[in-house]
Amino acid sequence: MLRTCLTILPLLLLGALADEKYILELTDETFESELTRHENTLVMFYAPWCGHCKRLKPEYAKAAELLLGSEPPITLANIDCTGAGKETCNKYSVSGYPTLKIFEGAEMRSDYNGPREALGIAKYMKSQVGPASQQLTNEKSHKTFLEGDEVSVVGYFEKDDSPLAAAYLTVTKKLRGKARFAHTSTNELLESAGHKNTIVLYRPKQLHNKFEPDSVVYDGGDSIGEVAEFISKNYFGLAGVRTRDNKDEFKNPLVIAYYNVDYVKNAKSTNYWRNRIMKVAKDFPEFSFAIASKDDFQHELNEYGIDFVKNDKPVILARDAKNQKFLLKEEFSVDSFETFLKDLQNGALEPYLKSEPIPESNTGNVKIAVAKNFDEVVNNNGKDTLIEFYAPWCAHCKKLAPVYDQLGEKMADEDVEIVKFDATVNDVPAPYNVRGFPTLFWAPRDSKESPIEYEGKRGLEDLVEYVAKHATDQLKGYDRKGKPVKPRTDDEL
């Protein structure tokens, strides 16, 4: 198995562990009997040595405390896959840690695909138990439901077994956790709400504004696809609130305003800037828009070379459909924002590229690629290429460095380029997907196929053997198995 330096924070940053007294500890012997005693249980399958498990545990313990007294009841549990829970982990095909699964009694209902921080875990689990859509039977329940601070969706049906009602209830099960769902067939509510045989998406009061309606009424057919599309299309509105939990739901082309977004402590200021974003955004329907907390997404600001936001005004960053990055360089104003979007719309902006300077000399056996010269050194060099994406601080990268230099020496006279790329200070170009360090890719000469990630051992002989086997033309100094070949004499030529 390859050892890789993961791009994660040191364990020392975690601080004190939360109290785990509310976590149910399970073993092979107690697993089924204990789960039978509990209505709904989230089980974490873990290994004590696993760094990701150690990071999750304090959040998991806080979530268990937050869920005390929830209705219906929700329990959080652990099982050690390397100790007294081996057989159970094998039974549920657990191959990585931590793995989380949701159980109803002793029956597994689904894998857990929610957040990994305490509030998110608690919120997600509350949305996963009980009916996906709450049934509203009177004015009080209807009013209470709509007073929440999240997007709420209500289905109003004269008959609860109509095709539209059936499609809606199916969608609520698929999207549970994304929004709050309810439905009613009570005549009193249908009359007072003024809706019959339709679905209405309500935006929470804190997001009300003059640039879009506070609620959106469904006018489509009774297919599951149409209902799901209606909810997804309207859920975030003109400028959605992007968080660490929902960040992946926002798709390119995307324009994000980063500032001090805080609906708990400073909703007025948050909406002040959001309204200015929306004032311009309404005229550019081809883009998606979002606001985001600059503190929660400092790592994204870093990708644009922004280490510190000097004032309270939004910082505007964008990605187009090709995932190219763009930055509003001027201080934010309604006018500068509008100009930026027009230029982005017309393709008049130069993409932002995080890159080291191009090396003045690049004649070594291991070539240095940076973002600005990647096409020249890798894509258009006319050679088969092995590229290492590394981080200077990574211990595994440091161990590989002398081996990689030796490989460069051995390939010096071959039609193969050996290249290294510091992925911490340069934007990694598509289609390379770098999740940890070091990551090596093989890019065949003139190939239209995607580069191939190298997953073999990292000894010198292993790398030589790989290059020799995959080279477009057989190497001069090695056969296809990576064995040295004798140079041919003049008589043999």
Tens of pLDDT along 186-207?
Answer: 999 999 999 999 999 999 999 9
Q: What is the pLDDT of residue 366?
A: 98
Q: What is the pLDDT of residue 10?
A: 34
- Set out the domains of the chain in order of their start, with CATH numbers: 24-128 (3.40.30.10), 134-234 (3.40.30.10), 240-346 (3.40.30.10), 367-470 (3.40.30.10)
Q: Which helix (H) or strand (E) holds 269?
A: helix 267-281
The question of whether 397 is a catalytic residue gets the answer yes
488: pLDDT confidence band, cut at 50, 70 and 90?
Answer: low
Mean per-residue pLDDT, 368-395: 96
Which listed residue (5, 81, 89, 394) is catalytic?
394
Residue 14: name the closest of 59, 62, 67, 77 by CA.
59
| Tens of pLDDT, residues 109-122 | 889 988 889 988 99
- Quickly count: other Cβ atoms within 10 Å of residue 447's Cβ: 12
Is 304 or 4 the better-scoring residue by pLDDT? 304
Residue 403: name the closest of 424, 381, 388 by CA.
388
Q: What is the pLDDT of residue 288?
A: 97
Mean per-residue pLDDT, 363-371: 97
| Tens of pLDDT, residues 306-319 | 988 878 899 999 99
Give the span between the Cα atoms of 63 and 111, in whole angstroms.
18
Both structure tokens of 155 = 């289905």
- Quickly count: other Cβ atoms within 10 Å of residue 25's Cβ: 13
Residue 205: name the closest of 125, 144, 149, 131 by CA.
149
Q: Which amino acid is at 17?
A: L
- Quickly count: other Cβ atoms within 10 Å of residue 400's Cβ: 21
Does the pTM surpass 0.85? The reply is no
Average pLDDT across the chain, whole number: 92
Question: In the chain, pLDDT over 70 holds for what percent of residues?
Answer: 95
pLDDT at 372 > cutoff 80 = yes
Lowest mean pLDDT among 125-134, 333-342, 402-411: 125-134
Residues in the chain: 493
Residue 389: name the closest of 52, 8, 5 by CA.
5
17: pLDDT confidence band, cut at 50, 70 and 90?
Answer: very low
Give the span between the Cα atoms of 199 and 165, in whole angstroms.
9
What Rg do the C-alpha atoms of the chain give, in angstroms? Answer: 28
The question of whether 81 is a catalytic residue gets the answer no
Which listed residue (5, 53, 81, 89) is catalytic?
53
5: pLDDT confidence band, cut at 50, 70 and 90?
Answer: low
pLDDT at 8 > cutoff 50 = no
Residue 42: name the closest of 138, 118, 125 by CA.
125
Helix (H, G, I), strand (E, B) or coil at 428: coil
| Tens of pLDDT, residues 447-479 | 888 899 999 999 999 999 999 999 999 999 999
Cα angle 388, 377, 443 (rounded to 5 degrees) comes to: 55
pLDDT at 7 > cutoff 50 = no
The residues facing 288 across adjacent strands are 254
- CA 405, 406, 407, 409 torsion: positive or negative? positive
Q: What is the pLDDT of residue 84?
A: 95
127: pLDDT confidence band, cut at 50, 70 and 90?
Answer: confident
| Contact yes or no for 180/141 (Cβ under 8 A) | no
Q: What is the pLDDT of residue 201?
A: 98
Q: What is the pLDDT of residue 359?
A: 96
282: pLDDT confidence band, cut at 50, 70 and 90?
Answer: very high
The question of whether 50 is a catalytic residue gets the answer yes
